[in-house]
Amino acid sequence: MPLGALGTNCYIIYNEQEALIVDPGGEADKVINFIEKMNVKPLAILLTHAHFDHIGGVEAIRTHYHIDVYLHNEEAHWLEEPSLNGSTAFEREPIKTAPPEHALKPGKMKLSSFEFDVIHTPGHSPGSVSFIFAEHGFIMSGDVLFKQGVGRTDLRGGNMQTLENSIRNKLYQLAATYIVYPGHGTFTTIGAEKVENPFVPAME
């Protein structure tokens, strides 16, 4: 669900009863309408990182449903500080929200009926994480890995070498069949990116 001024991908992972909301970048009403249409209970907001285009809808959704926000500690204070989340650099209202209720830590995570793995994938930003849903064969990569692209590294805390290490040593270690759902643009697969990604080709 592309949301906000930059069309950032928000993902809603749901089953017959519950849902997780990943990176609500804006237009909270669209997320709420979808949740109501599906008649599911949202459990939490998961953030791959705290850049402004991924957090614009956080406060409205959190307040509406009284649910918690999960974010890596490296960027916990970015939600409260527009100069860190980047919203002051654009001609728009600065984005400022309450801090996250929980810190995302690498490893297995379980929220009610959902089980997934959290991996720390810095480079685009220091607290970037990816969510791996192994049972269903997909990963949410935030702004780390795109279809034939990678996240920019010229923002606060970005580093190209660190980003390459995250992609090669963590994401490219997954099975080639894994579907990659990125923060922007269309989906791809790990196998396709190892062959076709011009920025971080797989090393033989």
Which tens digit of pLDDT belongs to each residue from 2-37?
Answer: 999 899 999 999 999 999 999 999 999 999 999 999
178 to 135, 165, 191: CA distances (angstroms): 10, 19, 8
Which tens digit of pLDDT belongs to each residue from 32-53?
Answer: 999 999 999 999 999 999 999 9
Topology given in CATH for the domain delimited by 2-196:
Metallo-beta-lactamase; Chain A (3.60.15)
Average pLDDT in the 72-90 region?
A: 93
Neighbours of 10 (CB within 10 A): 25
- Secondary structure element (H or E) that encloses residue 190, with its range: helix 190-196
Which tens digit of pLDDT belongs to each residue from 177-200?
Answer: 999 999 999 999 999 999 999 999
Q: Name the one residue in this structure whose structure tokens are 């809603």.
A: 12
Instruction: Classify residue 70 by its DSSP letter.
Output: E
Residue ranges per structural domain of the chain? 2-196
pLDDT at 204: 56
CB 184 within 8 Å of CB 135: no
Average pLDDT in the 156-182 region?
A: 97
Model pTM? Answer: 0.97
Q: Which token pair is 8?
A: 């950032």
